[in-house]
Amino acid sequence: MKNTLLILTVFLLAFLVLPTFLIAADDSADYVVVVSEETAQDAAWSEVVDALVEKHDAQLLTYDPETLVEDVLPALRSTFPRYACFVAKPEDAGKDFVASVHQLTRQLDDDPYADLFWGVLSGYDADAAMLIVNETEPLVVENVLSATDVELSMFTEGVCYDELVAGHSTIKTPGEDPETQTVPTDTTKLLVDGLNGDADLFITSGHATESNWMIGFRYRNGFFVCNEGTIYGRDTEQELFPVDSDHARVFLPIGNCLMGHINGPDCMALAYMRSAGIRQMIGYTVPTWFGYAGWGVLDYYIEQPGRYTLTEAFFANHQALIHKLDSLEESDPSYRGMLHDRDVVGMYGDPAWSAKLADNPNRAWEQVLLTDGNQYTLIVQPNLGEATFEPINVNGSQRGGRPIIHWLPNRVENVEITKGAELDPVVTDNFILIPNPGTCDPEKDYGITFTADLIE
């Protein structure tokens, strides 16, 4: 039987000494800025590039727009940075570009996984893109505004407006449990007011295109639309309410079709960034039907509060997708869906900017990595007994069952599992993945130990 007191003591000590995965900005090998030669020569956009390079003391890589992979891959393999930010004008940042970046960043070594954190930095214009570059203060996400059901218990406060049931919502106030409340059927103005207020995280689902979002999924409600870089709410009486906020926040259109597709300057994604304070977001660049790459981000970001930045949560979910896809036969019904989702969700913003939830006692398990020379031990401590690894909130598609993922502080090679091999762990050069056990025996050890050599 485990000595619980000893384990908890080890946790406390480890959290005090464990280095953070967000690397300091003064290490140029850890951050590269990637931009086309044409964009780098544009007077306005070159200021964006220069500011980003200065912000992170980054290396600058340029490429011919026709040969992105061929031009950039050798340099990325040489430097193997933690972060890569791809600066692109709106006309260059479409779905094909996002897919190319996905594929490029999985080719730095021989495993099938993404090898670095990346983000696409674009904007309605260069001035709008500079808003993202100039954001330096880390964001602690405490207040959520959602148009679909999420686990409100993980936040200090927030509200969920129901996209399925007219007039239904759930509210969380500080220090209280979430409770239901009745609201107007048309929630357009309420959502606009929330974005013009102090919400730190905005979450949406339902029908959408590059130019609008339909608020209600099963009932008549208003729309969000965009025009010349501004988001507007348009209610059922056709009245327009502009969104005009500089409150830094993040955006998860987890179930929306096309919300992440930048098909030119006048699109929803860029309008959110310019007028709604969005500094990081993800989004589908194509119609969504499977949902793993979108909805699963909630499993890491919200339901493991404080463990991952949004960048890390997005990439944890991507690694989970690759792991599952790699294990499926092509005849499996899920194979086509996983393949569909693999390269179609973009990550936008500065990938090294930290935006994460505060630590929360509702977290289902604790995990911490201890190192002793070339030996690494990942400890996993269940918090919810037999329910530890079960889904928490199942709203959406392809929810639950995500593997345990922990980033390594340094790249490693020559990995040898010495304890926990029966859990079928995967240890790559930069992260550990343990498949979700599903059921939990609180007396069982779900951690692993391995030896590995540092990659210099």
The per-residue pLDDT for 29 is 66
251 and 390 fall within a common domain: no
Report if pTM > 0.85: yes
Decide if 94 is inside a domain: no
249 and 374 fall within a common domain: no
Decide if 217 is inside a domain: yes
Given 305, 333, 348, which residue is the final one in a domain? 305
The tens digit of pLDDT for each residue in 55-96 reads 999 999 999 988 888 899 999 999 999 999 999 999 999 999
Is the per-residue pLDDT at 159 higher than 60?
A: yes
Decide if 209 is inside a domain: yes
167 and 292 fall within a common domain: yes
Decide if 443 is inside a domain: yes
The per-residue pLDDT for 1 is 40
301 and 173 fall within a common domain: yes
160 and 277 fall within a common domain: yes
Q: What is the mean pLDDT of residues 108-124?
A: 97
257 and 396 fall within a common domain: no
284 and 165 fall within a common domain: yes
Decide if 32 is inside a domain: no
Decide if 440 is inside a domain: yes
Find the domain containing 172 and state its range: 139-305
289 and 184 fall within a common domain: yes
The tens digit of pLDDT for each residue in 217-250 reads 999 999 999 999 999 999 999 999 999 999 999 9
146 and 286 fall within a common domain: yes
The tens digit of pLDDT for each residue in 341-360 reads 999 999 999 999 999 999 99
The per-residue pLDDT for 65 is 84
Task: State the chain's mean pLDDT as an integer.
Answer: 93
Is the per-residue pLDDT at 19 higher than 60?
A: no
153 and 296 fall within a common domain: yes
294 and 382 fall within a common domain: no
Is the per-residue pLDDT at 20 higher than 80?
A: no
Given 289, 305, 321, which residue is the final one in a domain? 305
Tally of domains within the chain? 2
The per-residue pLDDT for 435 is 98
The tens digit of pLDDT for each residue in 373-419 reads 999 999 999 999 999 999 999 999 999 999 999 999 999 999 999 99
CA–CA separation, 20 and 369 (whole Å): 11
Decide if 78 is inside a domain: no
Decide if 35 is inside a domain: no
Given 305, 331, 349, which residue is the final one in a domain? 305
278 and 368 fall within a common domain: no
